Amino acid sequence: MSGSFRSHKEHPRRQRSERHRDKPNRTAKRMQRIPVLFDNIDEVHLPEIKKYQQEYEEFEDRTASQKRELYKDVKRLEREAESLAEKELDYFFKRKDRRKKLNKAEKTLNESEEGTEAAARRRRLRKQFEEAVARDLLEESSEDSEREKG
């Protein structure tokens, strides 16, 4: 037979709690002292307490209104961000379409065709192409400057 002869009832933790059962609970003592403090409040302190309560309520009202304003600002900023994203996408797709047209015009310029009509057409297309490129660059630079300002 090996092992301990102690029964489960004689567990050290249980013994410890039984030992401490006679000692008074600290928090219970504190709770007994608290009503004594509040019993001593007389009419002199009541206006002060009411003043602090009112200040706290005003503070809560202010913070609630600030929270509402912040929420409105956040929502406004989210809407602005969405509209900017949509504008950016529109701009991107417009620029993509314009680039396709410009590339097509450039290809037709580069094709070798004989004749005066073809040469005149090439000159006209080259002029249109250069104007379109200049316009595109102007738009990009103006939009970039607007983005930097905003």
Q: Report the number of distinct structural domains present in the chain.
A: 1
pLDDT of residue 38: 56
Domain membership of residue 3 (yes or no) is no
Place of tokens 């316009």: 135
Instruction: Read off the tokens for 73.
Output: 């600002």
Note the Cα 140 to chain centre separation in Å.
Answer: 30
Each residue's pLDDT tens digit, 44-99: 677 788 888 899 999 998 899 999 999 999 999 999 999 998 888 888 888 888 88
Each residue's pLDDT tens digit, 6-59: 555 555 555 555 555 556 666 666 666 655 555 556 666 777 888 888 999 999
pLDDT of residue 78: 93
Domain membership of residue 12 (yes or no) is no
No. of H helices and E strands in the chain?
Answer: 4, 0
Helix (H, G, I), strand (E, B) or coil at 69: helix
Domain membership of residue 50 (yes or no) is yes
pLDDT of residue 116: 67
Give the number of other Cβ atoms within 10 Å of residue 48's Cβ: 10
Backbone region of residue 115 per phi and psi (left: phi > 0; alpha: psi in -120 to 50; beta: other values)? left
Domain membership of residue 4 (yes or no) is no
Its domain, for residue 32, covers 25-149
Domain membership of residue 2 (yes or no) is no
pLDDT of residue 121: 79
Q: 41: which DSSP letter?
A: -
Domain membership of residue 107 (yes or no) is yes
pLDDT of residue 79: 93
Domain membership of residue 9 (yes or no) is no
Domain membership of residue 44 (yes or no) is yes
CA 72/CA 78 separation, integer angstroms? 10
Helix (H, G, I), strand (E, B) or coil at 34: helix
CA 15/CA 21 separation, integer angstroms? 10
The model's confidence at residue 149, banded by pLDDT at 50, 70 and 90, is confident
Each residue's pLDDT tens digit, 121-136: 778 888 999 998 888 8
